Structure 1
Amino acid sequence: MSEPRFERLTGSRLEQALPELARLRIEVFRDFPYLYEGSLEYEQRYLRTYLDEPEAVVVGCFLDDRVIGAATALPMRGEPESVRRPLAEAGYDTDRLFYFGESVLEKAYRGQGIGVRFFQEREAAARASGRYDHAVFCAVVRPEDHPARPKDYQPLDQFWRRRGFTRIEGLSCRFSWKDVGNQHETTKAMSYWIKRL
């Protein structure tokens, strides 16, 4: 089998990969804890944010010519005010924060170091710019007794801590989306995780 290949996607190469990145996001985020009922139209529109932001980072992981995973990041200024405001009110200079959007990988390729590489690539890009002090991302908060929580579910908290991230206790923002099987969007709390670069 071929070795996974990593590529920084920009410009026309990124535009060409948008449908596959959209498919991956829908596939991965459909599982617990996100339970996200996505649409290709919305996903491709959302992902165009990374085409429009000059400092955006999109790292694709390929097996031969097939996208099996991807990770995104961009300056915090590219995120909605609802994400920036809680951090600003807590005293963070949001102009000095680099936001990690998502890291998605097909199940068959997890546990092989690809997720670690995604974090390394995004951190390297943030450090190289010299403009950012911290990397930060958000993660959905679901109750321990959520009915859709699989018995063998393993949260990613320890993986993130091993990457050097810590949860910002008592600070959260909110996102809305439609859960799998639901008719309407509901609002979810998202915790912040941060790392000094």
Structure 2
Amino acid sequence: MGAAGRLEVVPATGAALAAALPDLARLRAEVFRAFPYLYEGDPAYEERYLHTYLAAPGAFVALALAEGQVVGASTALPLTGETPEVRRPFGQSAEFRPSEVLYLGESVLLPEYRGRGAGHRFFDLREAHARALGLPVTAFCAVQRPQDHPARPADYRPLDAFWRARGYEERPDLQTTMSWPDVGEPGGEETPKPMRFWVRREG
């Protein structure tokens, strides 16, 4: 299957989403192995995690499809349904109420399909979902890796400019920590990673 095939990004729910979960789990484990996440993923764990989006109120998933195959995906969930480490920075902020935030989980896309508009489509669909839920704030967090990290590719380009063009503001005052095993980490031990939020308010 070549990258020349038609790429479409569509919302997925119910049976269509359930059928895609195994492919989506493998995709997440593959894409997140790359810098900056360097995630030593387990597709079985990923599939269990993704079942959240089948039942959680207000959850949203978009799939990127090429010739019927899942090549990317993007997720969102009202912040009130997220884990404590994701909710905490907003709960401690005088500026935001967790009940007004749609948390944008992850967007993953195989490298050969990048640069074809899927990233914008992922944001368009999730921001439209936030409006449909009456949530005026969308937010996500990104891992912070040092500039001299030994696994940083020479041609690595962060997505900061893309996110700013979408109207998101980097918020050093909103930070959290998440843990996962880095690729090649001895014993597969989970270690904490600093995460920084980016936020957009509708209007």
What is the match of residue 200 of structure 2?
195
Which of 111, 117, 123 is the equivalent residue of 2:121?
117
Report sequence identity in percent.
Answer: 52
CA distance in 1, matches of 2:5, 2:36: 31
Residue 116 of structure 2 aligns with an amino acid whose one-letter code is Q
Deviation of residue 61 (structure 1)? 1.0
What is the match of residue 150 of structure 1?
153
Residue 131 of structure 2 aligns with an amino acid whose one-letter code is R
What is the match of residue 52 of structure 1?
55
Deviation of residue 87 (structure 1)? 1.3
Query: 1:113-172 CA distances to partner (integer Å, 9 max, x unpaired)?
Result: 111110001001111222x11000010000111111111110111111011101112321
Q: TM-score w.r.t. structure 2 length?
A: 0.94
Deviation of residue 90 (structure 1)? 1.4
Q: What is the DSSP-based 3-state SS (H/G/I as helix, E as strand, rest coil) of the residue aligned with 2:119? A: helix
On the 8 A contact 2:9/2:118 being kept in 1, the answer is no
What is the match of residue 10 of structure 1?
13
Kindly report which structure 2 residues correspond to 1:1-197, keeping only aligned pairs within 5 A, or say none: 1-91=4-94, 92-130=96-134, 132-182=135-185, 183=187, 184-197=189-202
Q: TM-score w.r.t. structure 1 length?
A: 0.96
Q: What is the DSSP-based 3-state SS (H/G/I as helix, E as strand, rest coil) of the residue aligned with 1:23? A: helix
Tell me how large the CA RMSD over aligned residues is. 1.0
CA distance in 2, matches of 1:88, 1:44: 29
CA distance in 2, matches of 1:13, 1:5: 15
CA distance in 1, matches of 2:12, 2:70: 11
Aligned residues: 196
CA distance in 2, matches of 1:76, 1:10: 19
CA distance in 2, matches of 1:161, 1:57: 23
Query: 1:90-114 CA distances to partner (integer Å, 9 max, x unpaired)?
Result: 1210010000001100000111111
Q: What is the DSSP-based 3-state SS (H/G/I as helix, E as strand, rest coil) of the residue aligned with 1:148? A: coil
CA distance in 2, matches of 1:128, 1:80: 23
Structure 2 segments unaligned to the other structure (5+ residues): none
On the 8 A contact 2:33/2:183 being kept in 1, the answer is yes
On the 8 A contact 2:8/2:65 being kept in 1, the answer is yes
CA distance in 2, matches of 1:169, 1:138: 11
CA distance in 2, matches of 1:185, 1:135: 28
Residue 124 of structure 2 aligns with an amino acid whose one-letter code is Q
